[in-house]
């Protein structure tokens, strides 16, 4: 029952956060989407944890009384946060697309005649400029005298990624 309670509470909270996310995006799409996603999901977690904490009034969900002790809350938080970060990674791919996705989509849209290599290269240049613009708006890079420089945020991000790649014994070469 312990595991089922943790799974049930985590999934209900995640679905609620996802619903808030969908409603928010239907009303308006925020400029800093990942930050807003984190705020929505963490806010939902905090409210949900407060609602099911043992010391607070009981909540009745589908005829079931839901309350949790400290260890259950801890496991709910860990599972929920894992789901949240996984979703944000997937959302990033869905939002901006991956280079492979752009290539496959462009070739598919060209139909049975195929896609001319020069047209694909032109589209990939546009994709590269769009990615640089996103990195600039996320404050990962900055432009100075016609040159792009890593910001401290970008450098930290790269360091974490490179550390993980070395930890998993993946080549340091990106691309």
Q: Note the pLDDT tens digit of each residue in 12-27.
A: 999 999 999 999 989 9
pLDDT at 38: 93
* Residue 94 pLDDT greater than 60, yes or no: yes
pLDDT in tens, 97-111: 667 777 777 888 888
Helices 70-96 & 33-52 angle (0-180, nearest 10): 160
Q: How far apart are CA 58 and CA 132, in angstroms?
A: 49
Give percent above pLDDT 70 in the chain.
Answer: 82
pLDDT in tens, 144-171: 888 888 889 888 887 877 777 777 666 6
User: Given the DSSP bridges, would you call strands 147-150 and 59-61 parallel, antiparallel or unpaired?
Assistant: unpaired
What value does the mean pLDDT take over residues 73-80?
Answer: 92
Q: How far apart are CA 165 and CA 159, in angstroms?
A: 10
Top-confidence residue, 131 or 39: 39
pLDDT at 60: 56
Residue 57 is encoded by which pair of tokens? 């009034």
* Residue 52 pLDDT greater than 60, yes or no: yes
Helices 99-110 & 117-137 angle (0-180, nearest 10): 140
Can you tell me which residue has the tokens 């970060």? 85
- pTM over 0.75? The answer is no
Q: Is 66 left (phi over 0), alpha (psi -120 to 50) or beta?
A: beta
What value does the mean pLDDT take over residues 60-88?
Answer: 81
Confidence band (pLDDT; 50, 70, 90) for 80? very high
Q: How far apart are CA 73 and CA 9, in angstroms?
A: 9
What value does the mean pLDDT take over residues 123-141?
Answer: 81
pLDDT at 54: 62
Q: Give SS3 for 61.
A: strand
What value does the mean pLDDT take over residues 69-96?
Answer: 85
> Which residues are within 8 A (CB) of 59 and not within 5 positions of it... i.e. 6 or more apart?
51, 52, 65, 66, 67
Q: Give SS3 for 97.
A: coil
Least confident of 44-48, 84-88, 154-158: 154-158
Residues 82, 54 contacting (CB under 8 angstroms) = no
Residues 45, 10 contacting (CB under 8 angstroms) = no
DSSP state letter for 175: -
Top-confidence residue, 57 or 114: 114
Nearest to 90 by CA among 21, 165, 7, 139: 21
Q: How far apart are CA 165 and CA 153, in angstroms?
A: 18
């Amino acid at each position: 029952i312990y595991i089922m309670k943790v799974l049930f509470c985590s999934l209900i909270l995640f679905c609620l956060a996802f619903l808030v996310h969908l409603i928010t995006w239907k009303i308006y799409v925020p400029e800093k989407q990942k930050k807003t996603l984190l705020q929505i999901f963490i806010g939902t977690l905090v409210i949900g944890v407060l609602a099911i904490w043992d010391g607070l009034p009981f909540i009745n969900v589908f005829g079931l009384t839901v309350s949790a002790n400290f260890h259950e809350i801890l496991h709910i938080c860990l599972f929920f946060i894992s789901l949240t970060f996984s979703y944000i990674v997937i959302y990033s791919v869905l939002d901006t697309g991956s280079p492979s996705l752009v290539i496959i989509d462009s070739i598919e849209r060209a139909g049975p005649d195929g896609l001319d290599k020069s047209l694909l290269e032109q589209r990939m240049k546009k994709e590269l400029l769009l990615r640089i613009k996103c990195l600039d708006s996320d404050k990962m890079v900055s432009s100075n005298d016609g040159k792009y420089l890593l910001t401290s945020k970008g450098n930290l991000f790269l360091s974490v990624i490179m550390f993980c790649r070395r930890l998993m014994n993946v080549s340091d070469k990106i691309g």
